[in-house]
Amino acid sequence: MSGSSRAVDPADMAVGGSIPSSFGVVAIGRNEGERLRRCLDSVRSRAAALVYVDSGSTDGSVELARSFGAAVIALDLSRPFTAARARNEGFRRLAEFTPPPELVQFVDGDCEVSDGWLETGSAFLDAHAEVAVVCGRNRERFPERSIYNRLADMEWDTPVGEARACGGNAMMRAAAFEQAGGFRDDLIAGEEPELCVRLRALGWHVWRLEAEMTLHDSAMTRFSQWWRRSMRAGYAFAEGAHLHGSSPDRHWVREARSARVWGGAVPMLIFAGVLAFGPAAAWALLVYPLQVLRLTLKGSGRYTLRALRALFLVLGKFPEALGQVKFLALQARGRRARLIEYK
């Protein structure tokens, strides 16, 4: 790690600053349409270098990106797609610019970068040489359109301050990204927290600022989409724990264990109880609404939103457990999963 290490003053997290001349943006997407237009329009006038990585669009996304002045990469689809590989390809293309960017904003093509974020994030990194990754509030554009969009918006409202991980929308120091070796190309999910584990092991820090960063159009309106997204999370928990579970921070061990217990072990024990002792044992299923109540009372904010979040946190253990089963089954056969898509 380069630079000195010092405590971060909360006052340093205020909005402001200017974007350095060597600043790049990597956007990735497929068939994002108008969402990609908003994405590119939000960054094109403020980035010295703009790269768009396309993964097989048929809606004119490539031509649209070129019209915004972006360098376009058509991802090789003979290999299984991962967002990690797309971002790595974009970063490598950025490195060919003269001068190569010192800071890189990664953004998904269904997201719009908020006004002022690039200035805020770059100013923070400029002031804190020990920080490799900075992110702000990723907000759902249309939370009112479905409970699943609303849940995503609540999930992204992470604590402000030093963080253990970031999401797909984040600003990174290019030197730190290169030092850590970038994203793992083979991860179908959870590649950003996994990278942060390696960055922090190298002595770098990750920060969440109290600033608007991106508007994300999830377009998640069906239960089946939420289920597959949760299943993908479970797969990521299992793989993350497999890769770094023995590290000092026990990466995703708790999340993986929770899904196995509530989504696997508890229902199997109840089923075994019913077989052994009869239907009366099914009363044990009340442990689930009791867990929902416990999480509701433990949360903060409006009661209805707390209850909604608690309900889906508990319900989500079932697809998460299935995702872990998928990971373990493929690992036993020496195979890799293809992306679990939900859109």
At residue 17, the pLDDT reads 59
Domain 10-221 has CATH 3.40.720.10: no
| Domain residue spans of the chain | 10-221, 243-332
* pLDDT recorded at residue 4: 41
Task: Give exposure, 119-158, as e/b (b: 16+ Cβ within 10 Å).
Answer: bbbbbbbbebebbbbbbbbbbbbbbeebbbbbbbbbebeb
Whole-number pLDDT of residue 21: 65
pTM: 0.91
Identify whether the C-beta of residue 56 lies closer than 8 Å to the C-beta of residue 73: no
Q: Give the single-character DSSP code of 301.
A: S
What is the pLDDT, as a whole number, of residue 156?
A: 96
Q: How many CB atoms neighbour CB 29 within 10 A?
A: 24
Residues of the chain with confidence (pLDDT) below 50: 2-7, 10-15
Segment 108-166, tens digit of pLDDT: 999 999 999 999 999 999 999 999 999 999 999 999 999 999 999 999 999 999 999 99
CA nearest neighbour of 269 among 279, 281, 278? 281
Supply the pLDDT for residue 5.
Answer: 42
Please give the pLDDT value at position 226: 98
- pLDDT in the model for residue 249: 87
